[in-house]
Structure 1
Amino acid sequence: MNVLKLNLSLAIVVLIMSCNKKSETSTIALHKTNKKNKVEEMAISKKEEIINVALVYLKDGQEEKFEEYKRRGAAILEQYGGKIERIIKPKMLVKGDVELPDEIHFASYPSIEVFNKFNQDEEFMKVRKEFAMPSIKDISIFTSKNTDFKFKKETGDKTKTYGIALVYFKEGEKYRKQFGEYHDEACKIIPEFGTHFERFIAPFESKGRVEKPDEIHRFYFDSPEGMKQMGTDQRMQALFPKRDASLSNLIFFIGEAIL
């Protein structure tokens, strides 16, 4: 009888342990599945994301009106799940031949469908008509998607010095490949000087006087000193001819973040 009770108790313990193990295994499996699904969702989200870049030229004395447009427009955009992610005030045109914009805006949208709905929103169209149109002298807009370039995305702040490059490749796949090789080699060097990447995007639509680039890069430097040191580094100097030989044009702004 005691042996029977002992065997029965052991059987129950084994059963409980098996259930607990199964439950634990199921929890781990579920966690892994959820994690995998989350990663897949993020990948899909990143692929569908739209980034709108605007080079903005303001009329004299209309800065306050344009600030009101930014406040109201951003509030409406947030209702659609989008946001104004970065605004740069250019201080210097390092390379290229364009007029220095007053501001460069980067706005992100979850998808092209959301982008289109936002731009057709009646309230936003009223805000744009009342505040944007009277305050903007000129504007060039590039509607873009993320590129396939894999990089460690980092987020700067208003204390950083920013670089924005509008990249135009020469015609032919070999030049894109050549620029890619330059970029891979440069990316091994520039982190030494406190350089961080925020965006690599490829415009597919544009409007305005500035020609649509093939790619737009946004990055920041921890300090102006680091930026200067990077530009004069012998290894980078040796790579620049390879970069320039692959491009038909390069517009490069240096500025500060106001958002």
Structure 2
Amino acid sequence: MKYLNTITSIALGILSFVSYISKAQNSNINTKHLEKVETKSQEIVNVALIYIKDGEEARFEEYKKKGGAILEKYDGKIERIIKPTMLVKGDLELPNEIHFARYPSIEVFNKFNEDPEFIKIRNEYAIPALKDISIFTSRNTDFKFKKETGDKRKTYGVAFIYFNEGEQFAKQFAEYHDDVCEIMPEFGTHFERFIAPFQSKGTIEQPDEIHRFYFDSIEGLQQMGTDERMKALFPKRDASLKNLYFFIGEASL
């Protein structure tokens, strides 16, 4: 229990890297909303929380193989697959996998999903294999950070972040943001993605931001959670959040 509490504190601490982005007003997938967030010709990242039916794992693996081959024809890429081992914050059924797929633009994303060959593969392999899925199409945030790339040997964290409404919370984050950016690299925390969903589909509420990061070691992760400088920032951070789902897991890709 002590270890879990430490991980939870660390998970929340990591959120201090965020920049505030106002919550999208419409979570339905439609062209009008896409134009509002100005995603044309910009790279997007599709994030999927995937729940696989018992006994259908092999069928879903075949879907990933066949669907991934078509995705590459569109200059897209499945850049990371995380298999969560625990949900350390939030109340949500643990998904089997969290997928991050990158596309050159929303136009390419739409063309890929309308590809007849892909639709056939999806209907034959994915739909029968899945118990549930929630999908979040996202753009890169304006936050400036040193992007690093991990590998399958690392422990990963994925945070689905929901902010309280109001500009005062943006100011609250800004007050300690710079200090935290100075602290966390000391403990071997590396960031791969800061993205903001602009459309979603599924039962899980659309978050304001999704973060993906990895750790050099569990020991460093634990030490960061007990650092006095980090702990001093937690109260301001806690008051800014409405909800948080924080997963820890291993990468299969």
TM-score class, shorter: 0.7 to 0.9
Q: Distance in 1 between matches of 2:212 and 2:175?
A: 19
Q: Quick check: 1:56 aligned with 2:50?
A: yes
Alpha carbons 1:47, 1:146 under 8 Å: kept: no
Alpha carbons 1:46, 1:146 under 8 Å: kept: no
Alpha carbons 1:164, 1:217 under 8 Å: kept: yes
Alpha carbons 1:82, 1:109 under 8 Å: kept: yes
Compare CA radii of gyration and give the structure with the larger one. 1
Cα shift readout 1:109-149 (whole Å, capped 9, x = no counterpart): 00010000000000000010000001110011110000000
Q: Quick check: 1:172 aligned with 2:166?
A: yes
Q: Distance in 1 between matches of 2:250 and 2:175?
A: 29
Q: Quick check: 1:86 aligned with 2:47?
A: no
2:93 is matched with which residue? 99
3-state SS of paired residue (1:48):
coil
Q: Distance in 2 between matches of 1:218 and 1:177?
A: 23
Aligned in 2, Cα 1:83/1:180: closer, same or farther, shift over 3 Å? Answer: farther
Q: Quick check: 1:216 aligned with 2:210?
A: yes
Alpha carbons 2:40, 2:107 under 8 Å: kept: no
**How far did residue 46 of structure 1 move?**
11
1:242 is matched with which residue? 236
Cα shift readout 1:15-71 (whole Å, capped 9, x = no counterpart): xxxxxxxxxxxxxxxxxxxxxxxxxxxxxx997001000000110010000000000
Alpha carbons 1:146, 1:201 under 8 Å: kept: yes
Q: Quick check: 1:196 aligned with 2:190?
A: yes
Q: Distance in 2 between matches of 1:84 and 1:229?
A: 32
Q: Distance in 1 between matches of 2:110 and 2:142?
A: 24
Alignment of 1:20-31 (within 5 A): none
**How far did residue 78 of structure 1 move?**
0.4
Q: Bigger CA drift: 105-114 or 239-248? A: 239-248
2:236 corresponds to which letter in structure 1?
Answer: K
Q: Quick check: 1:71 aligned with 2:61?
A: no
Q: Which of 168, 181, 184 is the aligned partner of 1:187?
A: 181
Alignment of 1:6-17 (within 5 A): none
Q: How many residue pairs are counted as aligned between the two chains?
A: 215
Consecutive unaligned residues in structure 1, runs of 5 or more = 1-44
Q: Distance in 2 between matches of 1:221 and 1:125?
A: 37
1:39 is matched with which residue? none
Q: Distance in 1 between matches of 2:209 and 2:121?
A: 30
Consecutive unaligned residues in structure 2, runs of 5 or more = 1-38
Which structure's relative contact order is higher, taking Cα pairs within 8 Å and 6+ residues apart? 2
**How far did residue 230 of structure 1 move?**
1.1
Alpha carbons 1:47, 1:145 under 8 Å: kept: no
2:227 is matched with which residue? 233
Aligned in 2, Cα 1:116/1:193: closer, same or farther, shift over 3 Å? Answer: same
Cα shift readout 1:83-125 (whole Å, capped 9, x = no counterpart): 0000000011111111111000000000010000000000000
Question: Normalized per residue, which structure has more helix?
Answer: 1
Cα shift readout 1:159-179 (whole Å, capped 9, x = no counterpart): 111111111110012212322
2:209 corresponds to which letter in structure 1?
Answer: E
Q: Distance in 2 between matches of 1:255 and 1:177?
A: 32
TM (norm. structure 2) is 0.82
3-state SS of paired residue (1:101):
coil
Q: Distance in 2 between matches of 1:195 and 1:139?
A: 29
Aligned in 2, Cα 1:72/1:100: closer, same or farther, shift over 3 Å? Answer: same
Q: Distance in 1 between matches of 2:220 and 2:164?
A: 30
Q: Distance in 1 between matches of 2:177 and 2:204?
A: 24
3-state SS of paired residue (2:133):
strand
CA RMSD of aligned residues (A): 1.5
2:64 corresponds to which letter in structure 1?
Answer: K
Cα shift readout 1:198-239 (whole Å, capped 9, x = no counterpart): 000000001111110000010100011111111121111111
Aligned in 2, Cα 1:166/1:181: closer, same or farther, shift over 3 Å? Answer: farther
TM (norm. structure 1) is 0.80
3-state SS of paired residue (2:234):
helix
Q: Quick check: 1:126 aligned with 2:110?
A: no
